[in-house]
Amino acid sequence: MLQTNLKHVESEAQYSEILQNNENVIICCGRMGPMCVPVYDAMEDLEKEYTNVKFYDMEFDIPDAHVIRNLPECRGFMGLPFTVYYKNGKVVTATTSIQNYEQIKEILEREF
């Protein structure tokens, strides 16, 4: 499990349930690595501001993370973390590698 203060997605079933029951969702799939930690950190801060969005992380190396790793929107991604934004269960944007607070905020403003 990732050592963050975000809620964790731990299985494919939980992933499906989250997407089914929430309009706006962001999931950051990574490790506790240098490019990932700043994204979780920014998400923890943004979570307080964007109460209309559900914020989650997911460990990249668990088998069930294939739900993110194999998304068509993540094809060609070669930098951790993979951060995916969903509206009504559909992917609206996905980013690869480190993003800062402002970049994530800009996507939240635009998409949700």
Binding residues for another protein, per CB under 8 A?
31-38, 41-42, 45, 75-80, 95-97, 100-102
Gap between the Cα atoms of 100 and 48, Å rounded: 16
Measured in degrees and rounded to the nearest 5, phi and psi for residue 65 equal: -70, 0
How many whole angstroms separate alpha carbon 106 and alpha carbon 46?
A: 11
Smallest distance, Å, CB 6 to another protein?
Answer: 14
Alpha helix stretches (DSSP H) within the chain: 12-21, 37-49, 66-69, 101-111
- Least distance in Å: CB of 29 to another protein? 13
Given the complex with another protein, which of 1 and 78 has the nearer CB atom?
78
**Nearer to another protein (CB atom), residue 22 or residue 96:** 96
Nearer to another protein, 79 or 89 (CB): 79
Task: Give 8 or 31: the residue with its C-beta nearer to another protein.
Answer: 31
CB of 17 to another protein, least distance (A): 29
The dihedral region occupied by 46, where left means phi > 0, alpha psi between -120 and 50, and beta the remainder, is: alpha
Smallest gap from residue 102 Cβ to another protein (A) = 7
User: Mapping DSSP to helix (H, G, I), strand (E, B) and coil, where does residue 50 land?
Assistant: coil
